[in-house]
Amino acid sequence: MDTRTRILDTAERLAQVRGFNGFSYADVAGELGVTKASLHYHFAGKAELGRALIERYADRFERSLEGIDGAGGDAASKLDGYVAIYSGVLRAGRMCLCGMLAADYETLPEAMRSAVRRFFDQNEAWLTGVLEEGEREGSLALDGSAPDAARAIVSGLEGAMLTARPYGDPERFETAAARLLRSLAPGQSKAV
């Protein structure tokens, strides 16, 4: 594995566990056994490192969404696959990178802020398409617009991750996520 990838892997883990403001270049350099100058060679500053982290994470997330689409199935099964992405991150002892960065949002450089917004916009756009598909095929019933429901799903999953974290209990997240998805089933009460 090349040094740049090792830097990104280490910084991503630290950001997902501690938050972006909870680690420094010295932390990354110490874990990798390299100098801070080596980090600066690959990323001029922490803002550039952060932007690269978001871009890489968003690319991986997008590939996961493409995999869900490629697997076929109805909209409800696609939503299950979407929740599984979050669940897998939480079960690995981490949080959604962009969810953690959203908590640090006011202290992030603008380039990182726009990348975080773009990540959530892309997720909401994908979910909107899945929700519209589900309404057309009859596997989902929305109470309101698909974009509003997409925002509620992203917000609900991010919040469920945060509230499960202090308990170290991924099942808390999975229970909340299952309840959220059940509210989209035809004939269900829309109160979450």
Domain definitions of the chain by residue range: 53-182
Global confidence as pTM = 0.92
Residue 131 has pLDDT above 70, yes or no: yes
Residue 192 has pLDDT above 60, yes or no: no
**pLDDT above 90 covers what percent of the chain?**
95
What's the rounded Cα separation, in Å, for the pair 115 and 72? 29
Instruction: Determine whether domain 53-182 maps to CATH 1.10.357.10.
Output: yes
The alpha carbon dihedral of 45, 24, 92, 157 has a sign of: negative
Task: Please tell me which residue, 192 or 128, carries the higher pLDDT value.
Answer: 128
Tokens 């202090």 locate to 166
For residue 153 the two structure tokens come to 């799903």
Q: To the nearest whole number, what is the mean pLDDT of the chain? A: 94
For residue 89 the two structure tokens come to 């991150």
State how far the alpha carbon of 109 is from the alpha carbons of 50, 112, 124, in Å. 9, 5, 23
Kindly report, residue by residue over 7-21, the tens digit of the pLDDT: 999 999 999 999 999
Kindly report, residue by residue over 139-156, the tens digit of the pLDDT: 999 999 999 999 999 999
Query: Which whole number is the average pLDDT over 158-187?
Result: 95
